[in-house]
Structure 1
Amino acid sequence: MKISVIVPYEGYYQYLKDCLESLSEQENVEIETLLVGSQDDQKFQQLVDTYKDKISLNVIPCSIEEGVAKKRNLGLENATGDYIYFIDSDDYIMPQTLSCLLQDAMQKDLDLVVGRRWITWFKKQVFETMGDEKNEELNLKDKDDDRNHKFLEKDYSDIDDSDEQRRIDLLIRAKKGIRNISVLNILIKRTLIEENHLRFNEDFIYYSDLPFVEGLVMYGHKIDFNDKTLYAKRKHNDPINTPALSQIKDETKFDEFINVYKYAISLVDKESRIRYYLDSKMIKYYSNFFAKKIRRSKDDFWRDERFDQMSILMQDVRDDLLKNMSRYQRKMVKLARNHDLHQTQKVIAKHLAKNKMKKILKNKNEINKYLYRHKYINEPIEENWVMFETFMGKSYADSPKYIYEYLAKNYPGKYKFIWVLNDPKEKLPYEGIIVKRFTKKYAYYLAKSKYFVFNIRQPLWFRKREGQVFLETWHGTPLKRLAFDQEEVTAASPTYKSQFYRQKQEWDYLIAANKFSSDIFKSCFMYT
């Protein structure tokens, strides 16, 4: 039995190498790899030449601008295997994944076999070196896996057409939200696809998986879950320069999300089980994600035309699932059906305030952030206040020290100096106020100071106000790769690059000690 592996190429050569390498490591299984993408790139062609014999690689020409749906459909039209398997070009799988899936499919005569997924920011070598324990510690395991295991243990004996319910549970219900419904790491009998004319809807760029998976649920029969497989779904740690499809910022995504939901529910009867769970996910999306946009977004379209769209959708969700929703969710649906934006905003504000209070009770620093965002930041900026911080308040040192001493000596009485120092025993050579990092006073001075002189990044929750001036002096000479010059981020948060990109935009000035540092800072910080 042969597996046709379909790989839509999205243009990131450095990720594709791991993908193809992982396919070359699959043992005890015959595969053909259908790589759909542009052949214009020289590095792409070199990679193809390296792997064409190892994995029976067949390149199907397609413009890089074409969507994933189009590329997957081209792969299906050229597939000759008995089974179909989709893998994205920036992902990779562990050895034995395909052989385990195929063994299950053949021994149990299954139409569909679902495997485990693990979300990661790391390339294959790093992921394998860290192992399951370290990845678990980083909390990147796909939470849908736990849901799948829950449904494996479920007793289906008292359910009519239990195979359909099992397919719904594993492919739709177990997925957190509509966005996470995916064809990835599912081995699919090819006859199921061809006999039912299943194809990806090419009108959708970001969410084309949902209708296709819906077709698998509708027309498939026997399904099972194999926990010996592992698919690494890779997030890109540089979403600024090389974003994954899910990381692209695009205002049209919301409209497509709504349209794909409407298209998906049009394919099934309103009383169907599939419709029940899709409606349930839409209510949760509305009350959890969309509600925050109504409350916090500066863009009025979340409260105008988009609220109008959600009100229409909520009119048509199934009434029988509301009894299983929380009181807050039921209230949100009722208000949306009445198109009552004013009362909706009041309910959301109360709900978010309740959640914030829970956070504050768990973490005392949350109250200081709250005061910063909702009180201090609304007070006037003090024109002569200068705030200094080095190494997160650990020491009185580095460039901020000398800038402070120069100002204090040459402009006596002109400025009020605030130093962030965690050791209360620290003494300043000139006048100044010492505050401990992340305290209430810290939040107060962060909101009201005119000038900032730091040698590290500012807190993520800091928002530079109009009129504030931020001088970044950075610490040391960059003899190691930093920020955007790093290929892989393993010693910091995997969202380090996207965080850094936002934070550096708040710097008005960046000091470099020498030309060597200056050249590197321009590159690694993307700072002009």
Structure 2
Amino acid sequence: MSHAENAIAPRISLVVPVYRVQGYLRACLDSILDQSFTDFEIVAIDDASPDACGRILDEYAARDERVVPVHLTENQGIGKARDLGALRARGDYIFFLDSDDTLAEGALQAVADRLDLTADPDILLLNHVRTYWTNRVQASAAGEMLAAAGKDVFTALERPEYLTMFAVVWNRVYRREFYVGNEFTFTDGIYEDALMVYKTMLTAERIACLEQVCVEYRQRRQGNSMRTPGRKHFGIFEQYARLFAFLDERPHLEPVRALMFERMVSHFLFTLVRPDRIVPSDRASFFKRSAQQYRRFKPAGFTRPEGMTGVRFELLERGSYPAYQAFELAGATKSKLRKRALKTKNVLGRKAYDQLYRMYQRRPIDENLAVYSAYWNRGVACNPAAIYHKAKELAPHVHGVWVVRAGDEENVPAGVDYVVSRSPRYWEVMARAKYLVNNVNFPNEIVKRPGQVHLQTHHGTPLKQMGIDQQRFPAAAKNMSFHKMLERVDKWDFSLSSNQHSTEIWERVYPCAFENIDSGYPRNDVYFQATSADVARIRAELGIQDGQTAILYCPTVRDYQKGFIPRLDLERLCRELGPDHVVLVRAHYFYGADPQLAALQERGLIKDVSRYPVVEDLCLASDVLITDYSSIMFDYACLDRPIVSYVDDWDVYSKARGVYFDLLSQEPGQTPGATATSEDELIEVFRSGAWNGERAAALRQAFRERFVQYDDGHAAERVVRRIFLNQEATPAVLPLAERTPAPRPAQATDRAGVTTGGTAGDADLVGA
């Protein structure tokens, strides 16, 4: 029997409005579905969210019938979405939960137990904590008050102090018959929670409390509509006007009118001084409206609070904003003023590094200049390089300049304009370029001017934990300032993604105001454009013989150890596999030249390609990839060639660095192919043929469906059209089944008719 056909209503209906929360939605849903208490449904209202939220809801609904998605065709706003969810709910109780928040472990069982214990009250008040991106957890102010209520059941008139709880609808659950029977609905605009809270609390005949923490209220660094400044915050006045109209119609509520008035005025004053709500130019106007509402709704005989709060009430009643400003200024200590001035100076001048740089910042932005960098100025590479070449084709009016490290000038390809980092011209192009393109962050000293466009391309799909998620892992977080990191991310305007997994991760771990471009990775275009002749040529230049199986071994860096430490006995591997296999070893670019690899290459056992300039060439030339946690596995999956995961230190790495999914699980979508955790297992994978067997192919297909989502050979074009030409990111992404990867080496040799052999090429090789 389906959920919809089930005649037994659940105990609790969680109503979850969903809009632009793709980075947080899975955590929200998981926190509900992982509860020990199971008698619930999730009525999730997709409020025409423009991101992947709708698809995520459908994915969860396909796995669990308790998830009931409702897709709206037009955005209605959170209030209307909640109203619709409440009408669709079938449970005894309605629990409004915001889709970027989570339930604490054991929350629903505690709620159900307290509802039983208090004989189904109209409203059950809940405790919560605030969680911050820094991993700080702050207890609510209501904990002691909730605990003091014990098992008591009361009304708001009997215990008016409970009207002072944080006025949001998600820290309480409502008996559905009470809520629907009284025809409660949310009003338009923000601050709708406060009006709903007070109206329901003042209507309820039976209120109970639960002191256990049930909701983890996420304090988003950016993206919260309540923390976005603007005139919309003036909507607070209409909401409180509605509240007092509600009180006027109910004379029996006169005893709490003064308390409601005090709550209203306190809310006005709180909102007034918040820079993330009211901008300075609007504060006088907001103060005037507050003063008008003060005088309009002031109860007869109202006594102002004592102390500084009372003075603010008095100044508001007088309606003099200059007097209020003077009071606030006088109340600030000299140390606070100095601190504020220093902060302002840092924001505006950010370290005034160099007179030359400041001079160039005063000159106009060059609308046809783009600056490119990759891997901390290591050269022309990765996604920025693919975008650079496509821009020369589609947007030739945009001149590209690359930033390179001193000493690397000779490695810049002929015809490519470049500047050396921190040279005089470097400061000029950084100050005046319209477009800044990088696969990592530019240095802290670089100031993003108004009018500049910063494109963050990234350089891999995240398996290991990234951004603020790294705070939980000491090996990853050492010597890192997450505040500084997010200040750098604040400069991004656009962030590229090659799959939905990445899009969700970037949005959550970099909580800043950039726009996602789900384009695919431009560096991977070559995997769909290279020909048989390209593949055969590269193999010949690398010295790979006819009939040899070329194994590309690419281990990644370990945060918990220093220097390159081979995880494999490469001499043994080559000996065991025999001369019909050749191993190309590419150490991570963080490491310098390795003498062990050099010695093995001198003996002809391996090919050390660690300094080979174009990793895409190596992928095209190889028959199979061996890697561990390197993001190269996601790029290599574009080629639809075998991938072997050799992870001998999974337990250590996953605990020290943190991972987003289990590479060894053998679950479709998590494991790209055959796996090995020891040298013996790895050798057996090749001897047995498991590396290229049916099971490996099935796992690779599921892996490609999840991670080769947008890569189709046209990613660079989509990016150039969106960023440089201000057009739609076209062409549309081809379905996976319609994409044709570059031919495999055996096919390439047959088709090209090329006899391979010779020596490896040098640094002038470029990608196909």
> 1:293-442, aligned counterparts within 5 Å?
298-299=280-281, 301-303=282-284, 305-315=285-295, 316-318=297-299, 322-327=303-308, 329-351=309-331, 353-354=332-333, 357=334, 359=336, 366=339, 369=342
Give the CA RMSD over aligned residues: 5.1
Counterparts of 2:154 and 2:357 in 1: how far apart (Å)?
69
Work out which of the residue numbers 184, 188, 207 in structure 1 matches 2:174: 188
- Residue in 1 that maps onto 2:444: 457
Q: 1:309 to 1:498 in 2, by over 3 A?
A: farther
Counterparts of 2:482 and 2:97 in 1: how far apart (Å)?
22
Counterpart of 2:41 in 1: which secondary structure?
Answer: strand
Structure 2 runs not aligned, ≥5 long = 1-9, 360-403, 407-418, 425-440, 472-479, 494-612, 616-714, 725-768
Structure 1 counterpart of 2:201, one-letter code: V
Query: Does the 8 A contact of 2:150 with 2:209 survive in 1?
Result: no
Structure 2 counterpart of 1:193, one-letter code: Y
Structure 2 counterpart of 1:325, one-letter code: E
> 1:171-250, aligned counterparts within 5 Å?
172-175=163-166, 181-201=167-187, 203-204=188-189, 206-237=190-221, 239=222, 243-247=223-227, 249=228
- Residue in 2 that maps onto 1:149: 144
Q: 1:298 to 1:399 in 2, by over 3 A?
A: farther
Structure 2 counterpart of 1:191, one-letter code: E
Structure 2 counterpart of 1:117, one-letter code: H
Counterpart of 2:169 in 1: which secondary structure?
Answer: coil
Identity %: 14
Query: Does the 8 A contact of 1:311 with 1:336 survive in 2?
Result: yes
Structure 2 counterpart of 1:260, one-letter code: Q
**C-alpha deviations, 1:28-76, integer Å up to 9, x for none?**
4411221222689777346424434535222223235111111111112
The CA deviation at 1:386 is: 7.8
Counterpart of 2:91 in 1: which secondary structure?
Answer: coil
1:79 paired with 2:89, answer yes
Query: Does the 8 A contact of 1:8 with 1:72 survive in 2?
Result: yes
**C-alpha deviations, 1:147-197, integer Å up to 9, x for none?**
34245337999xxx9632576434x3022xxxxx11114222112112322
Q: 1:34 to 1:382 in 2, by over 3 A?
A: closer
Q: 1:23 to 1:494 in 2, by over 3 A?
A: farther
Q: 1:79 to 1:208 in 2, by over 3 A?
A: same
Query: Does the 8 A contact of 1:210 with 1:264 survive in 2?
Result: no
Structure 1 runs not aligned, ≥5 long = 123-133, 176-180, 388-397, 408-453, 473-477, 506-513
**C-alpha deviations, 1:318-338, integer Å up to 9, x for none?**
4655442324x3333333333
Counterparts of 2:421 and 2:483 in 1: how far apart (Å)?
33
Larger Rg: 2
Q: 1:2 to 1:21 in 2, by over 3 A?
A: same
Query: Does the 8 A contact of 1:24 with 1:55 survive in 2?
Result: no
The CA deviation at 1:257 is: 1.6
Query: Does the 8 A contact of 1:82 with 1:189 survive in 2?
Result: yes
Structure 1 counterpart of 2:86, one-letter code: L
Work out which of the residue numbers 255, 260, 278 in structure 2 matches 1:278: 260
Counterparts of 2:261 and 2:224 in 1: how far apart (Å)?
27
The CA deviation at 1:312 is: 0.3
Structure with higher RCO (Cα < 8 A, 6+ apart) = 1
Counterparts of 1:192 and 1:182 in 2: how far apart (Å)?
18
The CA deviation at 1:515 is: 12
Q: TM-score, normalised by structure 1?
A: 0.61
Query: Does the 8 A contact of 1:156 with 1:162 survive in 2?
Result: no
Structure 1 counterpart of 2:156, one-letter code: E
Counterparts of 2:43 and 2:22 in 1: how far apart (Å)?
16
- Residue in 1 that maps onto 2:26: 17
Query: Does the 8 A contact of 1:167 with 1:217 survive in 2?
Result: no
The CA deviation at 1:101 is: 0.5
> 1:39-118, aligned counterparts within 5 Å?
44-45=54-55, 47-52=57-62, 54-63=64-73, 65-109=75-119, 110-118=121-129
Q: 1:44 to 1:37 in 2, by over 3 A?
A: closer
Q: 1:298 to 1:194 in 2, by over 3 A?
A: closer
Counterparts of 2:63 and 2:105 in 1: how far apart (Å)?
18
1:164 paired with 2:156, answer yes
1:7 paired with 2:16, answer yes
- Residue in 2 that maps onto 1:435: none
The CA deviation at 1:404 is: 11
